[in-house]
Structure 1
Amino acid sequence: MQGHISGTYVRLLFEWLDEQGMEAEKVLQRPCPELDERVRIPFDDWRAMLERVYRLTNDPVFGLKVGKRITARHLGVLGYVTYSCNTLGEALLRLQRFEDLVHAVNDLHVSFEGELVLLQWGAELGATGQLADQTAQAVLVSYLRQVVGADFNPVYMSFINEKPADIRPYEEFFGCPVHFEAAYTTMAFPAIWLTKPLNKPDPVLRDILDRQAENLLQQLPANDEFITALRQSIHAAIHAATPNLDVVAMRMCCSPRTLQRRLDERGLKFQILLDDARLQLAKRYLSKVSTPLSEVALLLGYAEQSAFNHAFKRWTGVTPKVWREKNAALGATPW
């Protein structure tokens, strides 16, 4: 499948294996990558490494143990920039913006469910698998415990993957109910945590690292040129108030049938991609409190504000008005 992982992140597995008394380079049959997020490991290679370790250890939850030893250096610039933020909300903004520096596979989506914040990953580029998912979520929760306090626990976790025979190791690690065979891999936690101050804020360093992370992000190769072009065409169609498959196909210089075939080959649904693009744009427009909701609806290609309100509530669980008020109350840049 498409996607890549940073060398800094992959080093976690090498270091854990060495700690267990196993020769990591011999087990994984490759040299340990440099501690540099510019070193890119294809995601399929990462998944193959995890599967090799599973066959060796016969431990279905070793990824939880690997993820527990995460440090800022394993996340490169992203780790240091989040470590320097004032609040968890600021840190998660950086995670959403710069996630591809470390784990460029399926995109992170952030939304609200009542008083909860949901961090969610779908399978737009394909399912990443049980071992990769458990490692990634263990990394995230372990890192959050480092920066905001060891008492951080999600309210619930869910995974796209098939339910394992024993879920107790997951529940013990995450400290919450854990569900499987869900529509999204999700970490849910109380929104009040967004205002939680981090242990070592450094606004000056954060600004420097923000610029460095932005520069690195621009240097990364796209996962899939077709998907990049498709997203650009969808955004253009939205801005022109013509967001439908026929118009997007025309913008991509192909027939609707060809576009649909290429979507089918990747397991993608046009409506899901359109909804995702509209949601991200909606959040951007809603962050500007001076923009009336009726204008936001028009900017997203909706003829009626009521249709926008209905769609936004379906995506996030709240109306655009409530979402805007919640983000304003948090005192941070909205998602």
Structure 2
Amino acid sequence: MPPEIARPRAEIRGTVLRQIFDECAVTDSVRHGLLGGYGLSDADIDGEDGAVPLAAYLEIFESLATHQRQPTLGLKLARRMGPDLAGAPGYLFLGAPDLGTAIDEFVRTVFAIQGATFLDFARTPTPMMSYFIVDQSLTSRRQDAEFSLAYMHQLICLFLGTPYAPVELTFEHARLAPLSSYERHFGCPVYFEQARNSLVMRPQDLTSKARRHDPRLASLLRHYLTMIRHTKDRPSRVTDQVDAVLAKIVGADPVTVADVAFRLGTTEHTLRRKLSAEGVSFRDLLRAKKVAVAMRQLEDTEFSILDIAQKLGYSDAAAFTRAFRAETGVSPSLHRKQVNRLRR
């Protein structure tokens, strides 16, 4: 098994969790109980400098949905949120001249600042926003995924000043509630247990004009966000850069070292050399990411072991089982049984 790779702790702005608590109208005792279970307090979710570990945020969100007996809590909360949830990037979104520019600038600002979760925007013939979390070991992500894409949908509706229906929505996780509740919310087909969390649009949607556009305000916000990025920028290890790319494509697209190098704007030889200098290999990183994705799918979907092996690019179930056992010490089937036993 390859050595453990130390990674910086992923965090999310504490004010996001504060707004979720406020919208749910939870009592002080419930809030303090949920926060205290992870060593957090009100100080961590108040003020612009407050931060919450991503793992704690995901678990608290899931626990809150269970406490409120609302399996689609993320969807319902997103509908009540405005641009202030995202801060300056949210207002920059609404102030853009057209929808394509709004999404482009949002992707470059809010998710870059947050650093724990990411949004990809592909301006392909079928434009698509894809939301993901780099750390595949964080399995309590259903509410967050639904909340995040539903919030993007909400921002689009606010931008247009009218209800908006995408082409389709896809989610990685299994469905939590009747399909009709999702399709009513988004006004389009919604699919589950897919390769990525995504919102698919029409090309003509991107040319839609803003209900109101203030170029002077947009310029001020861009300047402010550029200053924030400069103060938050830190040298990034190549290992972390590769890990982020793999999180986007493992399980969704074929993966080669040449493709990852291209996405990072370097050569295959240079990428391998830099990884070696950090004490890791591309092969180990890819295997670890594939197994992490597999673990989440074993825990969170009904996919068969063969289905998971094929989605991850293994030649057969036996090859997948060997890689999984080398990384975890157990077989995929045993891992699934152990998880199911703990959940009973």
TM-score band (shorter)? 0.5 to 0.7
Query: Which stretch shows the higher mean deviation, 150-159 or 3-12?
Result: 3-12
Note if 1:198 corresponds to 2:210: yes
2:94 corresponds to which of 83, 91, 99: 83
- Which residue identity does 1:125 align to in structure 2? D
For normalisation by structure 2, the TM-score amounts to: 0.66
Q: CA deviation at 1:49?
A: 1.2
Structure 1 residues 128 and 88, CA, compared in 2 at 3 Å: closer, same or farther?
A: farther
Candidates 244, 249, 256, aligned match of 2:272: 249
Distance 1:102 1:141, change over 3 A: farther
Query: Per the alignment, in what secondary structure is the counterpart of residue 157 of structure 1?
Result: strand
Q: 1:28 aligns to what?
A: 34
| Maintained 8 Å contact 2:131/2:145 | no
- Residue in 2 that maps onto 1:264: 287
Corresponding residue pairs, total: 265
Q: How has the CA–CA distance of structure 1 residues 224 and 130 changed in structure 2, closer, same or farther, with 3 Å as cutoff?
A: farther
Following TM superposition, by how much is the alpha carbon of 1:110 offset from its aligned partner in structure 2, in angstroms?
Answer: 2.1
Q: CA deviation at 1:35?
A: 4.7
Aligned-residue CA RMSD (Å): 3.5
Question: For residues 180 and 156 of structure 1, do their structure 2 counterparts lie closer, same or farther at Cα, with a shift above 3 Å needed?
Answer: same
CA contact (8 A) 2:12 2:51 kept: yes
- Aligned equivalent of 2:10, options 3, 22, 27: 3
**Higher mean displacement: 226-235 or 162-171:** 226-235
Tell me the CA shift for residue 256 of structure 1.
8.7
Report deviation, 1:209: 0.6
Structure 2 partner of 1:119 = 129
Matches within 5 A, 1:128-207: 129-207=141-219
Map 1:281-292 → 2, pairs under 5 A: none
* 1:29-48 C-alpha deviation (Å, 9 max, x unpaired): 33172352x43322111112
| 1:248-281 Cα distance to aligned partner (Å, 9 max, x none) | 2212344997443244334489xxxxxxxxxxxx
User: Which ranges in structure 1 are unaligned for 5 or more consecutive residues?
Assistant: 270-335
Distance 1:79 1:172 in 2: 25
Distance 1:137 1:207 in 2: 26
Give the drift of 1:16.
Answer: 1.1
How do 1:222-237 residues align onto structure 2 when only pairs under 5 Å count? 225=237, 227-228=239-240, 230=242
Q: Is the 8 A contact 2:104 2:121 kept in 1?
A: no
Task: Give, in whole Å, the separation in 2 of the partners of 1:133 and 1:236.
Answer: 25
Amino acid at match of 1:249: R
> Where does residue 73 of structure 2 map in the other structure?
62
Which residue matches 2:24? 17
List runs of 5+ in structure 2 lacking aligned partners. Answer: 1-6, 36-40, 246-256, 293-344
For 1:135 and 1:144, the matched residues in 2 are separated by 14
Change (3 A) 1:65 1:252: same
- Report the CA distance shift for 1:136/1:239 in structure 2 as closer, same or farther (over 3 A): closer
Q: Secondary structure at the match of 1:59?
A: coil
Give the CA deviation at 1:143: 1.6
* Alpha-carbon separation, structure 1, partners of 2:73 and 2:271: 44
User: Which segment is superposed worse, 256-265 or 162-171?
Assistant: 256-265
How many angstroms apart in 1 are the aligned matches of 2:263 and 2:88?
33
- Alignment deviations for residues 270-294 of structure 1 (CA, whole Å, 9 cap, x no partner): xxxxxxxxxxxxxxxxxxxxxxxxx
Contact 2:92 2:106 in 1 (8 A): no
Paired residues of 2:131 and 2:148 also in contact (CA < 8 A):
no
Question: C-alpha displacement at 1:236, in angstroms?
Answer: 11
Matched with 1:97 is 108
Question: In 2 relative to 1, CA 159–238 (structure 1 residues): closer, same or farther, beyond 3 Å?
Answer: closer
Letter in 2 for 1:196: S
- Contact kept? 1:229, 1:252, Cα under 8 Å: no
CA deviations on 1:47-103 (whole Å, 9 max, x unpaired) are 121122122122110111111111121111111211221111111111111132565
Q: Quick check: 1:222–1:228 contact (8 Å CA) kept in 2? A: no
Give me the whole-angstrom Cα distance separating, in 2, the residues matched to 1:225 and 1:240.
Answer: 12
Quote how far apart the aligned CAs of 1:190 are: 1.6
The farther-off stretch of 234-243 and 189-198 is 234-243
Does the C-alpha gap of structure 1 residues 234 and 176 become closer, same or farther in structure 2, counting only changes over 3 Å?
same
